[in-house]
Structure formats: structure tokens, C-alpha cells
Structure 1
Amino acid sequence: MSWIILIVSGVLEAVWATALGKSDGLTKLWPSVVFGGALLLSMGGLAFAMRDISTGTAYAVWVGIGAALTVAYAMVFGAEPTSLIKILLLLGLVACIVGLKLVDGSH
């Protein structure tokens, strides 16, 4: 269950990071509200997951998921230029996240 919560929390990290960018310095109401809500849920989920998953692994997975999804979203919707090397680097990041899950001894 902790891994599922950690993955959802990583997705929410991408949500709050994207909303923060769209909030124009927290001056736009709805992106700011989405940012705040997603931030609280994401951090809460990370804290919950860290009860069963080592801190280093949980944090790396959480950040990796958030970073990969944030960049992928920006590339898909045109805010970030897309290139083959960026796609390959994102795939490498995902592979490292999966590797951390596979070598983590806690369940």
C-alpha cells in the first residue's frame, strides 16, 4: 500500500509543480488553490509512505516521478521543447526509479 501511495504522491508532485508555474507567482486563484491542495496531499502521502519505505528510496522515487511527469507534461503541451535526448533521459530516470523499487528491501 505504501508504494501505491508513494506513486500517487509523486504524481501529485507533478500537479503542484505545474500549478505553481501556472499560478504566476501565486497571483492566480485557481492554480494557487490546486498548488496548495496538491502540495499538502503530496507531502502527506510521502510522509505516510516513509513509514514503510526507507527515506532515501521514498524521496528519490517521489522526486523522480514528479520531475519526469512535470517535464513530460511540459513537452506534450508545448511549454518545453521536445527532443530525442530528453525523452531518452526521462526513460533513464524512470528506469532508475524502477531499479530503486526493485532493490529496496522493505515491503
Structure 2
Amino acid sequence: MNWIILIIAGLCEVGFSYCLGRAKLLTGTAWMAWMLGFIIFTIISMSLLAKVTQTLPIGTVYPIWTGIGAVGTVIIGILFFEEPFTFKRLFFISTLIISIIGLKCL
């Protein structure tokens, strides 16, 4: 169950990154709405992360949480913010994913 909570926490990190990306393009009440989403996702993500660290080792949990956030944010950037999709990006994201799997297997 804790691994599922960790994955949800990582996806919430992707959510707050997405909100930041949207907010930077806007002003006024639309900016405030996206920033509210950022705050909500941040609180949920950090709360779930804190819960998971009570039972799983922080040396494994934190890199996996940040890795999910990093990989997810790159994918969001490519899909929604017109960031480039190149072989180099794919290669380094793949190495990050392999590293996350390696930590899980330890």
C-alpha cells in the first residue's frame, strides 16, 4: 500500500509542476486558480511523502518520488508545453527510469 501512496505522491508532484507551467502563461484570476491548484497538489504530495517515510527508507522513497516527478514533468512538458522531444531527452529519461527501478529492487 505504501508504494501506491508513493506513486500518488509522485503524480501529485507532476500535478503541481503542470499547474506552475499553466500559471506562468496567465495573469489575474486564472493565474490565482492555477496557483491554488499548485498549492493543493503540493500539500497532498508532501503529506503523502511524509506518510510513506514513516514505513519505507527515506533513501529509497525520496529519489523515487523525485524521479516520478521529473519523468512526469518532462512528459507533461513535451505533451502540453511544446518542449522538444529528442533522442537525448529520451535517453536520459530512460536512464532515470532505470535508476528508479534499480532503487526499488534494492
**What is the TM-score normalised by the length of structure 2?**
0.89
Q: Pairwise mapping of residues 6-45 of structure 1 onto structure 2 (< 5 A)?
A: 6-24=6-24, 28-45=31-48
Report the counterpart of residue 81 of structure 1 in structure 2: 84
- Residue 72 of structure 1 pairs with residue 75 of structure 2: yes
3-state SS of paired residue (1:51): coil
The whole-number CA distance in structure 1 between the counterparts of 2:26 and 2:56 is: 33
The whole-number CA distance in structure 2 between the counterparts of 1:26 and 1:55 is: 36
Greater fraction helix = 2
After superposing on structure 2, the runs of 4+ consecutive aligned residues of structure 1 that deviate more than 4 Å are none
The number of aligned residues is 103
Kept after mapping to 2: 8 A contact 1:16/1:34: yes
Q: CA RMSD in A?
A: 1.7
Q: How much does 1:21 deviate? A: 2.5
Distance 1:26 1:50, change over 3 A: farther
| Structure 1 gap segments, 5+ residues each | none
The whole-number CA distance in structure 1 between the counterparts of 2:2 and 2:71 is: 20
Q: Pairwise mapping of residues 88-103 of structure 1 onto structure 2 (< 5 A)?
A: 88-103=91-106
Q: Which amino acid aligns with 2:65?
A: W
Encode CA deviations 1:5-62: one digit per residue, 9 max, x unaligned.
Answer: 0011001101101212322399512211110110000000100110111112111000
**What is the TM-score normalised by the length of structure 1?**
0.88
| Structure 2 gap segments, 5+ residues each | none
